Amino acid sequence: MSYQYPSLDDFPPLKNDLLLRAARGEETERAPVWIMRQAGRYLPEFREVRKSHEFFEVCRTPELATEVTLQPIRRFSGLLDASIIFSDILVIPQAMGMEVLMNPGPSFPDPLNIPADVEKLNKIVDVEKELGYVFQAITRTRMALAGEVPLIGFCGAPWTLFSYMVEGGGSKTFQKVKTWIFKYPEESKALLMRIADVCVDFLVGQVKAGAQLLQVFDSWAGELSPHDFDVFSKPSLVHISTKVRARLAAENLPHTPMTLFAKGSNYALASLAESAGYDTLGLDWCIDPAEARHLVKGKVALQGNMDPNVLYGGRDAIESAVKRMCEGFAVNGGSKAWIVNLGHGITPGVDPEDARWFLECVHKYSARK
């Protein structure tokens, strides 16, 4: 069954647009804040849902995906400035015809070992048919949010998805995917672009369904040398930003800010700000905020970047790290072009009360006096 898009005018008006303003590079009275993986295993209410539902079952059941997306918004009422739809980057390989299990990390029983294996992928991917459940979850969640905060849609970057599809899961050495790019560079580039085209359809569909900002996760960008990032990741990232913007404009859809989080790619920050076509660049914690600001020369907004493990350090450590981060991003009587986040996802062992304290400290130290 094909998915029926809503009329975007029917959604409740947005009451908190801090995220969207910061992404457009505007000044805000305080910095907007959200947390990567904010709906996740550190929340007891999430673990409760997971007791009776498999991970991908939650992703595929719009009622459950909406419930889980809303859990952190309810718990941290008034403290979070964005929600992110509950799903996973690996739904794209699934839509392309691959089986993906989650036990507890992702694993692919039948990975792409050699270029001939690409034949096994679906020739044409109908995202409305394969991923319509994500669109339904987005529409339902945007209604349920009642305009409290904007809803972020997302996808994985081609390089990161390609790595999973070849490695068959997480990896420490990235030997299999490196074999592909160095031994079969042309086949690798062709597959990366094929994945990128699915990303474009998927992101445009998410906007039609109600997503108000889009984030692309290139979690394994840091595994590439600067040269190989330019050859095997950046072109597909540029393809996505260019095509998504063109499609949104052609279909009279709202201008939707786009964020790129290319973890570990601080070597590429200046070049990404110059020519990747994203409004915001996400930072991991391995770069000093002031240096990041300097490198991007005001061309993009920034998102990040506290080390997620500071959340294990207790309240004083969290408070001083937030204060330092605010000073580093030159927050001085309000904030500009900065979205607060961690430098990677929040981890399962964090006490939700320490996450709350992080959010409270951000509200305090980034506010206009």
Question: What does the binding site for ligand CP3 look like in residue numbers (CB under 6 A)?
Answer: 36-41, 50, 55, 84, 86-90, 102, 104-106, 154, 170, 217, 219, 345
Name the residue nearer to ligand CP3 (CB basis): 40 or 277: 40
Residue 53 or 324: the one with the smaller Cβ distance to ligand CP3 is: 53
At its nearest, how many Å lie between ligand CP3 and the CB of residue 55?
5
Compare residues 88 and 223 and give the one whose CB is closer to ligand CP3: 88
The CB-of-84 to ligand CP3 minimum distance in angstroms stands at 4
**CA–CA separation, 161 and 187 (whole Å):** 15
- Which of 184, 140, 142 lies closest to 162, judged by CA? 184
What is the number of the residue whose Cβ is closest to ligand CP3? Answer: 219
Taking the least distance from each CB to ligand CP3, the nearer of 281 and 331 is 281
Taking the complex as a whole, how short is the minimal distance between the CB of residue 50 and ligand CP3, in angstroms?
5
3-state SS track over the chain: CCCCCCCHHHCCCCCCCHHHHHHCCCEECCCCECCCCCCCCCCHHHHHHHHHCCHHHHHHCHHHHHHHHHHHHHHCCCCCCCEECCCCCCHHHHHCCCCCEECCCEECCCCCCCHHHHHHCCCCCCHHHHHHHHHHHHHHHHHHHCCCCCEEEEEECHHHHHHHHHHCECCCCCHHHHHHHHHCHHHHHHHHHHHHHHHHHHHHHHHHHCCCEEEEEECCHHHCCHHHHHHHCHHHHHHHHHHHHHHHHHCCCCCCCEEEEECCCHHHHHHHHHHCCCCEEECCCCCCHHHHHHHHCCCCEEEEEECHHHHHCCHHHHHHHHHHHHHHCCCCCCEECEEEEECCCCCCCCCHHHHHHHHHHHHHHCCCC
CB 221 to ligand CP3: min, Å = 10
Residue (155 or 331) nearer to ligand CP3, CB: 155
25: buried, middle or exposed (CB in 10 Å: 19+, 13-18, 0-12)?
Answer: middle
| Active-site amino acid positions | 37, 41, 50, 88, 164
CB of 80 to ligand CP3, least distance (A): 11
Min. distance of Cβ 167 from ligand CP3 in angstroms? Answer: 11
Residue placing its CB nearer to ligand CP3 in the complex, 86 or 232: 86
